[in-house]
Amino acid sequence: MFILINKPPGPTSHDIINQLRRLTGEKRIGHAGTLDPFAEGLLICAIGRESTRKINNFVKLDKGYLATLKLGLTSDTYDCTGHISEPRGYRHLTKKLISAALQKFIGEQFQTPPAFSAKKINGKKAYQLARQGKEFSLKPNKITIYKLQLKSYSPRAKTLKIEVCCSSGTYIRSLAHDLGQSLGCGAILEKLIRTQIGQYNLKKAVSPDRLTPDNWRDFVI
C-alpha cells in the first residue's frame, strides 16, 4: 500500500512517518526521498512490509520541483535555515542574464552536495560534522537536470522562482548556491515544493491533516 502525501513545511519527513504509524497502527512505514523540514510537497509513503520492500522502485525516479531563491545572500546550509551572510549586490541582473545562467546547468553534470546533508563520511552524517565545525569534503555526484526554467523574477523582493526537472540525487539547495555563484551575487533556497516523483504528481496527494484512523485507506494507491 502506498499513499501520496502533501507534506507541509515544518515537520520532518520522519514526523510524517510517525503520524502515519499512529493512524494506521502499522510500524513498517517508509518514504521515497526525504524532504527538508522547511520544504513541502510530494512524499510517497509505503505502508506495510511488502510495500516498504518495494520503496526503492520510487527512490530512483526523476523528480520535479518549484523553487524560490533569494538573491544577494549566501548560507552555510545553502538555504534560509542556516547562517546567512551580509547582503551582496544583485541589481545588475536581468531576466535575460538569469535565463542564460540557468541554461548552463541543464544536462548531465557533477554536483557537490551541501555540507549540511545526510551524506555519510566515515560512518557519520555530513551535517553532524558540519555542526561540530569540522572540515571535510564531499565527493560530487553525477546528476542530470532535464529542465530548468525561470518562472518569475522580482527585483523588488530579490527573489526568482524556477521550475526544475532532474534526476534522483540532485540537491536543489546546491543548485541554488551554484546558480548564485554563477550570477555573481549569491543565492539561497528560500522555498521548495516537490511537485513530481516519476509519474506521481502532487495534485493527487493528500494533506496529512485530512487523514484519520477511519479514512486513510481511502487514499491508498
Cα separation, 6 vs 41, in Å, equals 5
Q: How many alpha carbons lie under 13 Å from residue 197 in its C-beta half-sphere? A: 27
Reading the block at residue 206, the C-alpha cell is 493528500
φ/ψ of 131, rounded to 5, equals -65, -25
CB 145, CB 170: distance < 8 Å: yes
Out of 15, 36, 79, 209, which one is annotated catalytic?
Answer: 36
Cα separation, 74 vs 23, in Å, equals 40
CA distances from 4 to 1, 88, 100 (A): 10, 40, 35
Q: Is 62 marked active-site?
A: no
Q: How many alpha carbons lie under 13 Å from residue 55 in its C-beta half-sphere? A: 21
Q: Please list the alpha-helical segments (H only) found in the chain.
A: 13-24, 49-53, 56-59, 95-103, 126-131, 172-183
Catalytic residue IDs? 36
